[in-house]
Structure 1
């Protein structure tokens, strides 16, 4: 999800658009907001890529495994940095 703030947008480094360009999204952008469901979907996609990579030769399989690893890293980072509600101690 994009929580668009022009000052932090990496999709518009050189122009002054006031709306996001989701086709130019950069995974390290400060405007990205992920939910736990997004992280789960990233892990599922990583598993699917790894499954396909086992059937592919050399460089193509390696590239898919690398993409899967990157998706897992993004999901892991979400887990480490996510904001959660704390239950009040009574």
Structure 2
């Protein structure tokens, strides 16, 4: 999800005031992950773990490393996310 702020956008520079979602950069400060995104990262990590079991040495290790990075991103989201407190809506 893009929480577009032009001065922080990495998808474009000096072009327009709207985000260029087809040119999204993963390191952009405008990315606002949701709980669904974190769940998707965990799902993808599980799929990579399964693939890693069926490929030889170095490729399997790279898949496992990628799965670990995805889980780390999901864990970081979970520990830093903003939520509504009970009774505040």
TM-score normalized with structure 2 length: 0.82
**1:1-90 to 2 correspondences below 5 Å:** 1-12=1-12, 15-18=13-16, 19-88=18-87
Single out whichever of 38-47 and 55-64 deviates more from structure 2.
55-64
Matched residues in 2 for 1:17 and 1:2: separation?
A: 17
Runs of 4+ in 1 over 6 A off after TM superposition: none
Single out whichever of 60-69 and 36-45 deviates more from structure 2.
60-69
Shift of 1:27: 2.4
Q: CA RMSD in A?
A: 1.9
Single out whichever of 40-49 and 24-33 deviates more from structure 2.
24-33
Question: Which stretches in structure 2 are left out of the alignment for 5+ residues?
Answer: none
SS in 1 for 2:55: coil
- How many residue pairs get aligned? The number is 87
Matched residues in 1 for 2:68 and 2:20: separation?
A: 26
Matched residues in 1 for 2:53 and 2:21: separation?
A: 31
Question: Which stretches in structure 1 are left out of the alignment for 5+ residues?
Answer: none
TM-score normalized with structure 1 length: 0.81
